[in-house]
Amino acid sequence: MDEYAPLPNAEQLQVLGGELGFPIRFDHRVIGGLGGTVDVLTDSSDPGKRIVLKRYWLPEPDEVSPAEGEFRALELAAEHGVCAPFPIWVDRIGLFPERAIVISFVEGRVVLDPVDPIDWAAQLATALDSVHGIRTTTADQALFPDFGDDDSHYPGPEGLEQHPLGRKLWARRAEEVDSLQAVDPVYVHHDFWSGNTLWIDDALVAVLDWEGGSIADPAIDVAYCALDIRLLGLEEAAGHFVEVYRELSRRDLPNLRYWELMALCRPMPDIAMWVPGWRAMGVEISADEARQRHTALIAGALES
């Protein structure tokens, strides 16, 4: 779903209210993010009670429904004491043309300009360590497939050709793939970054957007989050994030270098597509500035 879904209509809200057991009304839409639509709804009889309706793109026939994946992931997060919204309802009656889920509303705000970047980074690392502590069951295999070193979720060479360093980046990735070491796979979030966390004052209170989970090398999440921190211009905080994660998890992350290269490929062919989401979260950055930062990080990775 490249664009936002239509607002839920009156009939859909009525049926959804019947499913949930209380009357609901539309409150507001959350702007920002990629691949889904997020609407905040309220209990008509108790305006202080809010819930969140999330709708996703329609998966291909052989793909996991992101609604089912997130619903189960949030169940597991609750079981393991991970700070996250609570799953309430998943659309198995075809109420919406998109895949849909209802989750609890969590108070808080996204923090991308922390007052104390070092403490902020340490809390992100602590939260990620708790995410990687989730243990799935055999029955969860269909929802959280083994990712291995699969790069099909990342742009291939043709997707990098538009960037001046794209071919060199992909070639360096190919050099690194042969040196990958076997590691114990864990549940990975696959979209863990500061924009998918909520904070109250200076405390992290929730990890959001759990629809992309899989079983894989934990370095995938570490590399991606560290990249986003660096793209915000917080280089020291990014290094501290990785250091604290290693200390807490007691993992060496032998494949971090490879997944750092893959993380750099992720916004290809043009990182400008991430700019609207950043700006919606309060980051004043232009498309050209984002491209310059991304290109500088690629150049640094190629030199190291």
pLDDT single digits (tens) 122-146: 999 999 999 999 999 999 988 998 8
Count of C-beta atoms within a 10 Å radius of residue 196: 17
83: helix, strand or coil: coil
pLDDT at site 149: 56
Q: Calculate helix-pair angle for 287-303, 166-177, nearest 10 degrees.
A: 40
Give the chain's length: 304
- Cβ neighbours for 191, distance < 8 A, ≥ 6 positions apart: 209, 211, 212, 224
Question: Using alpha carbons only, what angle is made at residue 186 by residues 66 and 139, rounded to the nearest 5 degrees?
Answer: 55
CA distance 272 to 255: 28
| Residue 106 Cα to chain centre, angstroms | 16
pTM for this entry: 0.93
Say which residue, 32 or 168, is predicted with more confidence.
168
User: What pLDDT is recorded for position 206?
Assistant: 98
C-beta separation of 298 from 264 below 8 A = yes
Q: Would you call 51 helix, strand, or coil by DSSP?
A: strand
Band (26; pLDDT cuts 50, 70, 90): very high
What average pLDDT is seen over the chain? 92
Q: By mean pLDDT, which of 12-21, 32-41, 95-104, 192-201 is the weakest?
A: 32-41
- Alpha-carbon 114 to chain mean position: 19
Q: Which domains does the chain have, with CATH numbers?
A: 10-104 (3.30.200.20), 117-303 (3.90.1200.10)
Q: Tell the burial category of 295 from Cβ atoms under 10 Å away from its Cβ (0-12, 13-18, 19+).
A: middle
| pLDDT (tens digit per residue) in 203-230 | 999 999 999 899 999 999 999 999 999 9
Give 178's pLDDT tier (boundaries 50, 70, 90): confident
| Token duo for residue 113 | 């300009």
Q: Do 216 and 145 contact (CB within 8 A), yes or no?
A: no
Strands 99-104 and 197-200: unpaired
Q: Give the model's confidence band at 68: pLDDT under 50 very low, under 70 low, under 90 confident, else very high.
A: very high
Alpha-carbon distance of 232 to 124, in angstroms, equals 15
- CA dist., res. 39 & res. 31, Å (int): 9
- Indicate whether 1 pLDDT > 50: no
